[in-house]
Structure 1
Amino acid sequence: MRKREWGDRLRQVEKRAHSYQQSPLCSRYQPRLARPSQPSSLWRLFPRQSSALALAQTCKEDVHVFALEREGGGMGQRIYLVTSYTELWHYYRTYRQSLMHCYEVIPEGAVCKLYFDLEFQRAWNPSLDGGRMVAQLIQYVCEKLHELYGLKCSSKDVLNLDSSTEDKFSRHLIFLLPNAAFKDNSHVGRFIHAIVRPVLIMLQARKGSQPEENSTLCASAQQSIEPLTSMECIPIGDRGMLGSPQPKRQKHGEDDLSFLLVKNKDGQTQLFVDLGVYTKNRNFRLYKSSKLGKNAAFVVAKDNQFSPEPDKHLTMEENIFQASLISNVSYTGQRILTWDASEFGNPTGPRPEGSTRAQPSPDCVGGHQYSPYREVDDFVLTLLCKGDIRGSIRCWNYFVSEQLLVYDILNYRWCNNVGRFHKSNNIMILVDLREEVWYQKCHDPECRRQNYRSSNYPLPDEICISHLLKEDEEDQLYLMDDAGTIELSQRSPSEASPEGAKPENRTQAGDTEGWGDWADDDPCYLEALQEVEKSAEEVSDELLLTAADECENRGR
């Protein structure tokens, strides 16, 4: 090839390379919202909650499930979003129209915060002072937490959210207890039912009815709080607390709780506290969200005294949003509070150690209720056999924020740190479901002082769950466009993008500046292109440059 021709072609290649640099083909946008080191998250929308929960449980990324009510979708119809807290907040602020009716899904079995849903109709309760009732309830609950668990807290530890209107008083209370949380929301429900039992008895006495006949109050309580047959869990990180003397009980007469009584639209007396919000996989409305068809979103109440700890990575609003999430609890060795099934309705507190236990049911293993991951439970039990020693699982706690299962072990004290069995202190087995590994920690004071944890050991292949989940064919994906509009995808799940078409910073259809109008390309050129793509032979640079020259000349 002559030198002149080579120089001309080289200049053409350089010219084209420059044009590509000016108008590059964009890769799919995957934001890192909090810090550059944070991995991108998913943004997937499902019509069924079970599919969304399955993806969240099997995904290696830090994602959670939220429920969305959308305009035009019909009352009560929801779709389910799988994404991270940070990513949700990013789009939550931007697409208020499509994300304004949003709920947190509180996963079954997940460690969670103590929370309340409070409401009454103003028209039927004209003399009631809602703000004062909230203050009295917070004081009463704090007293009970101190009496039963030895926890000291006040209204400064309670996030108070308000979505009241002229017609209805409505509050959410989220207790951010100091270094403590409840085992799951069923234990929260049983605890709350127990501490308000005096006023339930008062209601029954006034109506002269049996508990099962007592209006909607006891019915919702009994239906929403399913009994457990598990043994109670000694608080992790502070095992001595349950054995320590409890503070002297403060006597509360029935009249002390009369402030919890309100009237419904039928004139019947009922409880200010909604006892029906402690069910499995409960949908709990988010901060800054309203119900479909309503404009009253939850905001920080005027009488709120809680202020989150400053975080240089979060704005104040995002910090409040994170604090308001019920299952946003990390494993930091805090106490795990429980209320045993046999103590349901008994205000004297958790059952003391050494008391008679109920016989295990078929849903139990090793004397405890199965975790959401039964195969993992069975695997952990296989680790607790050494010689003649047969250990068991005392209790488990599930931290959904980290996809971490923490097993408290009984009658098995082998510690890798000391290379022998501890004389009196038991161990813990922790299973990281996201990384698909397990490791050991223990309650021995010396090991805890060293902050010891063993090496990671891989989970067996048969119980590892791949993060690449294949949805059912009938599980059509919903898509959200750049305007925030959510619609059913016209494509099958296999054709849909892995991110569920979350809003992206990329060139829109019709915006083809720098690339020509591809939809109106010469049919002959498209036919030639198809022929080239079908060819298995390698296309030479010379042929590509010639085709490009012909295309440019045709456009002049």
Structure 2
Amino acid sequence: MGSSKDDVDRLFACFKCGVSPPQSAFRVRPRQQGKKLRVTPSAEGDGGGSSSSSASTRKAGENASEHREPSSAAIKFRNRKQMSPVVFYGSPQGVPVKKPMSLLRLLREIHIDLKKQTDLISRDVVWATFPRQDEAIRFSKEHAHTKVFSYQDHLSGQRRFLVSTYDEFWRRYNNMDPQIRHHYEVIQEGSPCHIYFDLEFNAKLNQKRDADEMVDTLVAVTFSALQDKYSIEGQEEWIIELDSSNEEKFSRHLIIRIPKTAFKDNSHVGAFTSEICSLIAAQRAANPNLDKLYITKDSSGAEPVDQLFVDTAVYSRNRCFRLAFSSKSGKKSFLVATGRFKCKNMNDKELFMESLICRLDDDCDKLLICKLDLECKKALHFDTEASVTRIQAKNCRVAIDTYRSDFPQAYTYGRSPFPALDGFIESIASFGSVSGNPHTAEQILSQK
């Protein structure tokens, strides 16, 4: 073959004549990444018939094609994402419990946010106002250290509600202009409270009345009822007496604070007051001194009405009761101490705190009950029960005893048998460098 022919022509001529092409005629393509190519070596020697050489060449080409197709399919399969057999079939030992890291992280962030919110709103500086009473009560229930108060706008007389602590309220209240003090304590439904009376009558229709004597008589009857119903001997040093009388109207507030004791709520105080009124009415004929408690009330009829000077309408739920040093909107009569009973040697803050109906001392451990008897609806049932603090402590003790009986002794000390639960509690309780390791109830009680 002439040298002028290129490789293609020479290769074609070789196949045409049945001669095996020289090795230089094969140009191996560059190997692609991820693929393995098989190259069939050429037959040794230039001899042999044209038919056998052609057949062997075709067979080699077919074999190479057959080998390339499965190889490329395998390469494509290997390039896909593979799944672990353990993931697909599952571990023989079972899948380990995954820690809810995302949940713990979220709760940790919530804990930090709540801590920041608590830092911004300190327990002693809460002061929030609301146009509606139910909104204020709802907010107060979310902040257990707060109480609900009410006030009237000095100009419009419109009533609004505010939530604050006793100390913060007094701090602002004491620095307020006395002329705009129109504030009330909201006696919330279901809240323990002290005995309180609202005493009033028309001064012009009841002239020559000795108000102090009337109050003393009412106190004597009240102490007699306490002794009879609850075996409590009353003391005058328990009494706070406030007065806002003027020429037209006699008005006093009487608060009796029994040490370590309170009524379950103001509905029970109302029932007890009704019992006192019934006793006065029943003994009026036999005891002429009780006549002093009856006053003449202005009426539209020809003859005036004779009734007790005790207002029995102030025991409704969520009742607003005027605070010491306050006046009604548009009035100039302030509620101040009379200087009798316990008010003799008290400063303004002590008087204010002692006159609060729902403020209980930390050592209060008994609640008085006065309600209708279930068997006889016309009779009152008098009883006592432990305060909320004692009830909670008792329930906690019962829960601990039940816990001990349900689990082995080893589980009542140290960490619980649930590591995931311990980790969850620790992530929530820990803050900064302080570790929130969970304690058992047994350890908590032993540290008190």
Specify the code of the residue in structure 1 equivalent to 2:327: S
**Deviation string, structure 1 residues 386-410 (Cα, Å, up to 9, x no partner):** xxxxxxxxx7856xxxxx7945979
**Which structure shows the higher helix fraction?**
2
User: What's the Cα RMSD here?
Assistant: 3.5
Q: How many residues align?
A: 286
Specify the code of the residue in structure 1 equivalent to 2:306: T
> Which whole-Å CA distance do the structure 1 matches of 2:310 and 2:179 have between them?
30
Is residue 184 of structure 2 the alignment partner of residue 152 of structure 1?
A: no
3-state SS, counterpart of residue 103 of structure 1: strand
3-state SS, counterpart of residue 150 of structure 2: strand
**1:293-372 mapped onto 2 (5 Å cutoff):** 293-306=330-343, 316-342=347-373, 346=379, 350=382
- Which residue is 1:486 aligned to? none
Specify the code of the residue in structure 2 equivalent to 1:268: V
> Which whole-Å CA distance do the structure 1 matches of 2:382 and 2:318 have between them?
24
Q: CA deviation at 1:306?
A: 4.4
CA contact (8 A) 2:366 2:386 kept: no
3-state SS, counterpart of residue 275 of structure 1: coil
- Which residue is 2:151 aligned to? 68
Specify the code of the residue in structure 2 equivalent to 1:173: L
CA contact (8 A) 1:198 1:254 kept: no
**Deviation string, structure 1 residues 72-121 (Cα, Å, up to 9, x no partner):** 324xx310011111111111122225751000001110010111110111
Q: CA deviation at 1:178?
A: 2.2
Larger relative contact order, structure 1 or 2 (CA cutoff 8 Å, min sep 6): 1
Specify the code of the residue in structure 1 equivalent to 2:167: T
- Which residue is 1:206 aligned to? none
* Aligned with 1:172 (options 253, 260, 268): 253
**Deviation string, structure 1 residues 265-324 (Cα, Å, up to 9, x no partner):** 22211221100001101100000001111111111113334467x8xxxxx211111111
> Which whole-Å CA distance do the structure 1 matches of 2:141 and 2:172 have between them?
22
Specify the code of the residue in structure 1 equivalent to 2:348: E
Q: CA deviation at 1:346?
A: 4.5
**1:97-246 mapped onto 2 (5 Å cutoff):** 99-200=180-281
> Which whole-Å CA distance do the structure 1 matches of 2:213 and 2:120 have between them?
45
Task: Name which one, 1 or 2, has greater alpha-carbon Rg.
Answer: 2
Q: Report the CA distance shift for 1:453/1:105 in structure 2 as closer, same or farther (over 3 A).
A: farther
CA contact (8 A) 2:280 2:290 kept: yes
CA contact (8 A) 2:124 2:167 kept: no
- Which residue is 1:360 aligned to? none
Q: Report the CA distance shift for 1:293/1:260 in structure 2 as closer, same or farther (over 3 A).
A: same
> Which whole-Å CA distance do the structure 2 matches of 1:280 and 1:39 have between them?
27
Specify the code of the residue in structure 1 equivalent to 2:382: P
3-state SS, counterpart of residue 341 of structure 2: coil
Counting aligned pairs with the same residue, the percent is: 30
Specify the code of the residue in structure 1 equivalent to 2:153: R
In structure 1, runs of 5+ residues without a counterpart are: 1-29, 33-37, 204-251, 311-315, 353-394, 399-403, 422-451, 457-556
- Which residue is 1:263 aligned to? 296
- Which residue is 1:52 aligned to? 136
Q: Report the CA distance shift for 1:420/1:254 in structure 2 as closer, same or farther (over 3 A).
A: farther
CA contact (8 A) 2:154 2:180 kept: no
> Which whole-Å CA distance do the structure 1 matches of 2:189 and 2:361 have between them?
16
Q: Report the CA distance shift for 1:351/1:57 in structure 2 as closer, same or farther (over 3 A).
A: closer
CA contact (8 A) 2:243 2:253 kept: yes
> Which whole-Å CA distance do the structure 2 matches of 1:184 and 1:253 have between them?
33
> Which whole-Å CA distance do the structure 2 matches of 1:44 and 1:115 have between them?
27
> Which whole-Å CA distance do the structure 2 matches of 1:344 and 1:408 have between them?
33
